[in-house]
Amino acid sequence: MDLSQFSADQLEALKALISQQLGAAGDGRSPFRPRQLHDLRLQPTKDDPRPTFFWSADPPRTQAPPRPRAYPKLRWHAETGQERTIRTPQELAALGPDWIDHPPVMTPETAEERVARALAELSPEDREMVLEANRQAKLARLQRDLADLSEVQAGRVLNEDAPKRRKKAVA
């Protein structure tokens, strides 16, 4: 509907008529009367809508609580931590004793364990090559650190004839 054909007086009269029909709200929404919010025993009617408070999350008192189901179940491998869903008693019986009913506590692999595992997987020739490369890398790092020292500091570090300092004995 095009309202541009109405004059300003006609629009004001239309607005007053609409607000009178809608009630005090005037914003086009159904007005809530004060008794609707205070007296919750009153039921809604077709002319007087009211909020209803049905607690659908609570089961009726006559309904029995749901019985827990045995399956599906989760099982974890004790060593690898692999998780498996068991759907039948036959599947549970087929699993070995390594499968437990709670997640295992897995500790992260340390750097030493990781290197030992990686070296064990190498052939003896490759292992020797890796160890030699490691020795060369340590020597290069030592040379770089030695180059960062001043002449006096390098002389003190390299001079083996100088007597080493001893800690004073505390009496």
pLDDT of residue 171: 54
Structure token pair of residue 91: 């599947």
Q: How confident is the model at residue 156 (pLDDT cuts 50, 70, 90)?
A: confident
Q: How confident is the model at residue 125 (pLDDT cuts 50, 70, 90)?
A: very high
Q: Is residue 115 part of a domain?
A: yes
* Residue-level length of the chain: 171
Q: Strand, coil or helix: what is 109?
A: coil
Q: Strand, coil or helix: what is 56?
A: coil
pLDDT of residue 62: 74
Largest CA distance in the chain: 113
Give residue-wise pLDDT tens across range 32-71. Answer: 555 555 666 777 777 776 666 666 666 666 777 778 888 9
Q: How many domains does the chain have?
A: 2
Predicted confidence (pLDDT) at residue 31 exceeds the cutoff of 70: no
Domain check: are 101 and 117 in the same one? no
Domain end marker among 106, 125, 150? 106
Per the structure, the complete domain to which residue 77 belongs is given by 70-106
Q: Is residue 18 part of a domain?
A: no
pLDDT of residue 139: 94
Task: Please work out, in degrees rounded to the nearest 5, the angle formed at the alpha carbon of residue 70 by the alpha carbons of 66 and 74.
Answer: 120
Listed ranges 30-34, 131-135, 151-155; the one with the highest mean pLDDT:
131-135
* Residue scoring higher pLDDT (162 or 2): 2
Q: Give pTM, 2 decimals.
A: 0.34
Q: How confident is the model at residue 137 (pLDDT cuts 50, 70, 90)?
A: very high
Domain check: are 151 and 116 in the same one? yes
